[in-house]
């Protein structure tokens, strides 16, 4: 009943890689849950969408965990049903990714607009929603930028329309209240353009990683199909 020769190799590869992916899925779930719990403990969640990032990590982890489980167990037990389920799930994920990549490419200008719009909406909520504040502060800090098109944009939004100054996260050296210092030592470049440029410059890396993942998935699908054939003929011989 056991699959033979080259099939053993395919079986082992499918088992081994899925075992690693299964562990990765588990790790993502654990990391997501830890981040989520930490967020819940450290700040007051006023808005459910705030904890978006950990939720996304958990969901991705759960999907990887389940798909890899079918691949891993199916290969180990030489279970036709499980390997088929694995192949179908992987094919679905592959198709969704291709669709997302095409949509992202076709609508790339819309994606830019959407980002700009979200950023501006975020600036308007800066003073009222702590999670939005932290997200914008994080972007301004990481990309050394300030405001939508430049640091002067903040003058339109609360509380800076009354108090003047800019968020501390605009400062070159961030300290409490540094955004209101004069003369302010701040990054003046706008975030939207700067982040779009960063994405453009890194699009090759992003596309490379995406292609690598797509290739692995394709390999997984092909191997799973081989394994399905092997298992089936194994049964027939028996």
Ligand X SMILES: *[C@@H]1O[C@H](CO)[C@@H](O)[C@H](O)[C@H]1NC(C)=O
Q: Which residues bind ligand X (CB under 6 A)?
A: 127-128, 148-149, 153, 158-159, 162-163
Query: Among residues 80 and 115, whose Cβ is nearest to ligand X?
Result: 115
Q: How far is the CB of 130 from ligand X (least distance, A)?
A: 6
Q: Compute the least distance from the CB of residue 120 to ligand X, in Å.
A: 7
In the complex, least distance from residue 138 CB atom to ligand X, rounded to whole angstroms: 16
In the complex with ligand X, which residue's Cβ is closer, 79 or 149? Answer: 149
Beta carbon nearer to ligand X, 174 or 193: 193
* HEC letters along the chain: CCCCHHHHHHHHHHHHHHHHHHHHHHHHHHHHHHHHHHHHHHCCCCCHHHHHHHHHHHHHHHHHHHHHHHHHHHHHHCCHHHHHHHHHHHHHHHHHHHHHHHHHHHCHHHHHHHHHHHHHHHHHHCCCCHHHHHHHHHHHHHHCCCCCCEHHHHHHCCCHHHHCCCCHHHECCCCCCHHHCCCCCECCECHHHHHHHHHHHCHHHHHHHHHHHHHHHHHHHHHHHHHHHHHHHHHHHC
Backbone angles phi, psi at 27, to 5 degrees: -60, -45
Lookup result for tokens 């353009």 = 193
Taking alpha carbons only, the member of 50, 87, 49 closest to residue 67 is: 87
Q: Which is nearer to ligand X, 163 or 175 (CB)?
A: 163
Q: Smaller CB distance to ligand X: residue 47 or 79? A: 47
In the complex, least distance from residue 187 CB atom to ligand X, rounded to whole angstroms: 16
Nearer to ligand X, 97 or 134 (CB): 134
CB of 144 to ligand X, least distance (A): 18
Least distance between ligand X and beta carbon 128 (Å): 5
């Amino acid at each position: 009943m056991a699959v033979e020769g080259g099939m053993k190799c395919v079986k082992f590869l499918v088992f081994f890689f899925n075992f690693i992916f299964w562990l990765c899925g588990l790790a993502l779930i654990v990391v997501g849950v830890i981040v989520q719990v930490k967020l819940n403990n450290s700040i007051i969640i006023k808005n459910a969408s705030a904890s978006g990032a950990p939720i996304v990590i958990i969901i991705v982890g759960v999907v990887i965990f389940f798909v890899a489980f079918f691949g891993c167990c199916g290969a180990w037990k030489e279970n036709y049903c499980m390997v088929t389920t694995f192949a179908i799930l992987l094919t679905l994920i592959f198709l969704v990714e291709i669709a997302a990549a095409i949509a992202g490419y076709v609508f790339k200008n819309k994606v830019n607009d959407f980002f700009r719009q979200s950023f501006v909406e975020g600036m308007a909520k800066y003073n009222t929603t702590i999670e939005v504040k932290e997200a914008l502060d994080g972007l301004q800090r990481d990309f050394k930028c300030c405001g939508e098109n430049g640091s002067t944009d903040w003058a339109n939004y609360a509380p800076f329309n009354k108090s003047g100054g800019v968020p501390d996260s605009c400062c070159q050296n961030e300290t409490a209240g540094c955004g209101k210092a004069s003369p302010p030592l701040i990054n003046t470049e706008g975030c939207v353009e700067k982040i779009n440029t960063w994405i453009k410059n890194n699009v090759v890396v992003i596309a490379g990683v995406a292609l690598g993942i797509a290739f692995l998935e394709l390999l997984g699908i092909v191997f799973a199909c081989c394994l399905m054939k092997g298992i089936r003929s194994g049964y027939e011989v028996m």
